[in-house]
Every structure is written in C-alpha cells, then in structure tokens.
C-alpha cells in the first residue's frame, strides 16, 4: 500500500505563487553572476567558469543568463525561440514540437505549464551534423521565495546526424520553503542524432518536484540519460516517457537516488519500443536511509519487430524504517520481442560485511566500501567529457550529502 501522506497526490497549485517577474535581472556574461547563485550551482556540480559550449541559467521563472558559444548549436530562452521559429521563410516551426513529446493534458501539472503564459525555459537546437565538444550547461534555481512555483518548459531538438551533450542542474536555495518545481522537457532526436543528458537535482526537505519529460527517438537515434538525486526532497514524482519510433533507435537510462530524511520519491521511466530493432535499457540504483520511501518503477512496452528491452532496479536499504518498492513491468505486444527485468531490494548482507572485515576493515568501513561501490555507476554510455563530468558530480554530491 502506498503511503498516502507522503504520496501527497493532492497538491493544490493555487497554494503557490509566481514571483514578480519585473524585478528579475538578466546577466550578460558569466562574470556577472552573484556568488550566492554561483555557490548553489556548485552544489549540483555546475562550475560557471569552466569550458562549456553554452550556458543557460534560470532562477524562478525568468532566464538570468544565456550564452551560446558554439556555431551550429543554438541555445536560447524558449519564449524567444518561439518568436524566431515561427515557420516563416522555411524556418523551423516550433509549434510542431510544442506539447508533442509530453501531452499538455497529461495531468494538472502539465496543464498548469500549458496555460501559463509568462514562464520560460530553454530551447536547445543542434543543427544537422553539428556536435558539441564540451557539454552545454543549464541550471534551474529556486530562489529563497517561500511558496514559489517554478514552471519551466524546455525543448531540445537534435537534427539528423547531430550530437548534443547536456548537463542540467536543478537546485533550491535553503530558504526556498515549500516551493514546487514543475519542469516540462521535450526531447526530439532525429535520424542518427545522439543526445546525452545528465541531470542532477538538489532540493530541500520542503520542495515538491514534478518533472514531466517526453523523448521521441527517430531512426537510429540514441539517447543516454543519467539522473542523479542525492538530496532530501519533500516529494518527487517523475516518469519520463520515451517513444522509440524509428528503426534501431536506442535509449539508455540510469537513475541514481540517495533518499534520506522523510523524502518520498516516485521515480520511473516508460519506454515504448515501436521501431524495428529498437532497444531500451532502464537502470536504477536506490540507496534509502532514515525514513525515506522510494518507489522505483520501470516499464518497457515492446511493439516493434526484434526489439529488446531490459529493466534493472537495485536498492539498498540502510535503515530499518526506510522503504523501497521496486515495480518493473514488461509488456510484449509482438511475439518477436525480448524483454527482461531484474530487481533486488534489501539490506547489505552480513556475509559481505564480514568478508571485508576479515581483511581488516571495520564494520563502518566495510559498509562504506560497499555503498560507494553501489554508487559507482557505469558512465561509459556517455561521451568521455560528459562521463568524466558526471562521475565528478556524483563524487562531489555524494561526499557532501553523505559526509
């Protein structure tokens, strides 16, 4: 039975406000970013001064900074992009991508984002054949404004043969009491395009979070998705939908959660394998301590010929009052599909601890070694520079969160 109190389905969006947007500032360059914001960004591993192909920063509901440094990779606030890409003079018509990967009437959160005219987000567009060398950075920040609702809508398009590496951090100021983050992200990877996306969340124990992500993959498109949350949160629910419509499209998703305090997470991913030979892998690692409760879902629907899918959820419980529900689901709608899943939920076995103790480790050292091994995720599906960055972030975040 799902804990009603923590699940908190009845969020009333009228309880939240959007800040006065007239007072927000727009910085022209990285140098202008105030230290406070800079430090918050560091918590999600984003270093403003390092080599990047571009950077987008938004506090609350208005972009603060948007710098694009690479030819052929466009990065701009979504509102601005909507004006430019109107389909005129043979240009892209952004309306064709608006609410196509995520449906606007999916739930009250998407509805809120759809009717909300004043909020913004980012638009990233890789032109055909273009590649990012260093990852693009984006950071969404909830300022110290109690009861704030941050509503973000992002659209990411990778044209045929392009390659996009993106690293996104979402974080809240410790003074952002009882805020809510609604983030809609729509990804489109066209033929032979490749998107690698690392997202790091760092919330507070009062933040509620509702990311709504949709991904559409065309022929031979590849998507690698790394999602890391290691902070407390009040309540976070997300379940990205991935539609692999093209032949041989592939998706790899890895989620890493360190749940503590009273946090409640309901996280998952749903992959729909439609294109012939498409494949999806959904992996999650959950470490649950204190009174946290995590529901780890994964669902793969196999429709196309010769599609393959695999779900792997493993969870370690380090406290007697933590709870993890692992819910993998595989649905075959075609006899020529191969879908598998494995799941394991439990505490660290005494055998493992005692084995390591017989090499002289104390009990705590043995547990730490096993836990750090559990968190040492395989970043090899990511391009080298993003893989390195992702490893570094997991390292920084786990050190600061786990002490």
Partner 1 sequence: MNNILRIENLTVRVDNHQILKDFDLNINKGEVHVLLGPNGAGKTTLIKSILGFKKYVVESGKIYFKGEDITNLSISERVSKGIGVLFQHPPEINGVKLSKLLTVCDQKRNMFTKETTENACDSDLDEYMDSLAQRLKFSKDYLERDVNTGISGGEIKRSEILQMMVMQPEFLLFDEPDSGVDVENVEIIASIMRELLDRDKVPSKQEKSGLIITHLGYILKFLGHITRAHIVMDGKILCSGNPKQIINGVMKNGFEKCRECISCIDSTEKLEEVDFTL
380: which DSSP letter? T
The piece of 154-162, 168-176, 321-329, 356-364 that touches partner 1 (CB under 8 A) is 356-364
Query: Of 330 and 361, which has the nearer Cβ to partner 1?
Result: 361
The piece of 164-172, 249-257, 269-277, 344-352 that touches partner 1 (CB under 8 A) is 344-352
Q: One symbol per residue from 360 to 399: x for binding partner 1 (CB under 8 A), - otherwise; what is it? A: xxxx-x---xx-xxxxx-----------------------
Task: Provide, rounded to whole angstroms, the least separation between the CB of residue 329 and partner 1.
Answer: 24
Task: Provide, rounded to whole angstroms, the least separation between the CB of residue 314 and partner 1.
Answer: 8
Q: In this structure, are residues 109 and 117 in contact, taking their beta carbons and an 8 Å threshold? A: no
Task: Provide, rounded to whole angstroms, the least separation between the CB of residue 367 and partner 1.
Answer: 12
CA terminus-to-terminus distance, the chain: 33
Cα 400 to chain centroid distance, Å, stands at: 20
Query: Of 190 and 310, which has the nearer Cβ to partner 1?
Result: 310
Neighbour tally for 291: CB within 10 Å: 17
Task: Provide, rounded to whole angstroms, the least separation between the CB of residue 58 and partner 1.
Answer: 36
| Burial of 90: CB neighbours in 10 Å, binned 0-12, 13-18, 19+ | exposed
Q: One symbol per residue from 294 to 333: x for binding partner 1 (CB under 8 A), - otherwise; what is it? A: ----------------------------------------
Task: Provide, rounded to whole angstroms, the least separation between the CB of residue 399 and partner 1.
Answer: 17
Choose which of 47, 49, 86, 350 interacts with partner 1 (CB under 8 A).
350
348: which DSSP letter? P
Query: Of 3 and 354, which has the nearer Cβ to partner 1?
Result: 354
DSSP bridge partners of 376: none
Rounded to 5 degrees, what are φ and ψ at 50?
-75, 165
93: which DSSP letter? B
Neighbour tally for 106: CB within 10 Å: 16
Task: Provide, rounded to whole angstroms, the least separation between the CB of residue 386 and partner 1.
Answer: 22
Report the distance separating Cα 330 and Cα 269, nearest Å.
12
The piece of 5-13, 56-64, 143-151, 343-351 that touches partner 1 (CB under 8 A) is 343-351
Query: Of 36 and 354, which has the nearer Cβ to partner 1?
Result: 354
Task: Provide, rounded to whole angstroms, the least separation between the CB of residue 136 and partner 1.
Answer: 31
116: which DSSP letter? -
Choose which of 12, 35, 105, 351 interacts with partner 1 (CB under 8 A).
351
Query: Of 173 and 285, which has the nearer Cβ to partner 1?
Result: 285
Residues contacting residue 220 through CB under 8 Å, at least 6 positions apart: 191, 192, 246, 247, 248, 249
Task: Establish if 357 lies at the interface with partner 1 (CB under 8 A).
Answer: yes
Give the total residue count for the chain: 403
Tell me how far CA of residue 327 lies from CA of 3, 114, 300, 343, in angstroms: 15, 30, 12, 8
Q: In this structure, are residues 30 and 113 in contact, taking their beta carbons and an 8 Å threshold? A: no
Task: Establish if 355 lies at the interface with partner 1 (CB under 8 A).
Answer: yes
Task: Establish if 47 lies at the interface with partner 1 (CB under 8 A).
Answer: no
Residues contacting residue 401 through CB under 8 Å, at least 6 positions apart: 230, 231, 258, 260
Task: Provide, rounded to whole angstroms, the least separation between the CB of residue 283 and partner 1.
Answer: 13
135: which DSSP letter? P
Report the distance separating Cα 96 and Cα 234, nearest Å.
35
The piece of 174-182, 334-342, 348-356, 380-388 that touches partner 1 (CB under 8 A) is 348-356
Q: Which residue has the tokens 């140098």?
A: 31
Query: Of 194 and 285, which has the nearer Cβ to partner 1?
Result: 285
Task: Establish if 83 lies at the interface with partner 1 (CB under 8 A).
Answer: no
Residues that bind partner 1 (CB under 8 A): 349-352, 354-363, 365, 369-370, 372-376
């Amino acid at each position: 039975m799902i804990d009603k109190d923590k699940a908190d389905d009845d969020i009333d969006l009228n309880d939240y406000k959007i800040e006065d947007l007239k007072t927000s500032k727009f910085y022209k360059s990285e140098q202008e970013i105030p230290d406070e914001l800079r430090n918050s960004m560091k918590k999600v591993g984003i270093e403003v001064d390092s080599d990047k192909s571009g950077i987008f920063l938004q506090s609350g509901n208005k972009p603060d900074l948007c710098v694009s440094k690479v030819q052929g990779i466009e990065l701009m606030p979504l509102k601005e992009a909507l004006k430019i890409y109107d389909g005129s003079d043979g240009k892209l018509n952004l309306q064709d991508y608006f609410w196509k990967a995520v449906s606007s009437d999916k739930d009250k959160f998407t509805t809120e984002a759809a009717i909300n005219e004043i909020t913004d987000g980012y638009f990233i567009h890789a032109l055909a054949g273009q590649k990012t060398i260093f990852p693009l950075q984006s950071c969404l920040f909830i300022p110290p404004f109690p009861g704030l609702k941050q509503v973000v809508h992002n659209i990411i398009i990778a044209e045929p043969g392009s390659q996009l590496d993106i690293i996104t951090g979402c974080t809240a100021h410790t003074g952002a009491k009882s805020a809510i983050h609604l983030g809609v992200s729509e990804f489109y990877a066209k033929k032979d395009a490749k998107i690698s996306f690392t997202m790091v969340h760092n919330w507070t124990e009062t933040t509620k979070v509702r990311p709504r992500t949709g991904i559409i993959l065309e022929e031979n498109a590849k998507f690698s998705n790394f999602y890391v949350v290691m902070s407390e949160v009040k309540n976070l629910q997300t379940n990205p939908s991935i539609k692999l419509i093209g032949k041989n499209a592939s998706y790899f998703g890895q989620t890493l959660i360190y749940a503590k305090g009273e946090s409640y997470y309901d996280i998952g991913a749903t992959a729909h394998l439609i294109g012939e030979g498409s494949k999806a892998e959904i992996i999650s690692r959950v470490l649950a301590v204190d009174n946290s409760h995590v529901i780890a879902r994964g669902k793969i629907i196999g429709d196309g010929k010769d599609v393959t899918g695999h779900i792997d959820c493993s969870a370690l419980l380090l406290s007697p009052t933590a709870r993890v529900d692992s819910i993998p689901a595989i649905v075959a709608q075609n006899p020529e599909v191969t879908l598998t899943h494995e799941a394991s939920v439990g505490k660290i076995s005494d055998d493992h601890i005692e084995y390591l103790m017989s090499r002289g480790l104390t009990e705590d050292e043995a547990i730490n070694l096993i836990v750090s091994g559990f968190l040492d995720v395989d970043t090899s599906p990511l391009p080298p520079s993003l893989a390195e960055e992702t490893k570094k972030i997991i390292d920084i975040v786990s050190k600061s969160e786990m002490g």
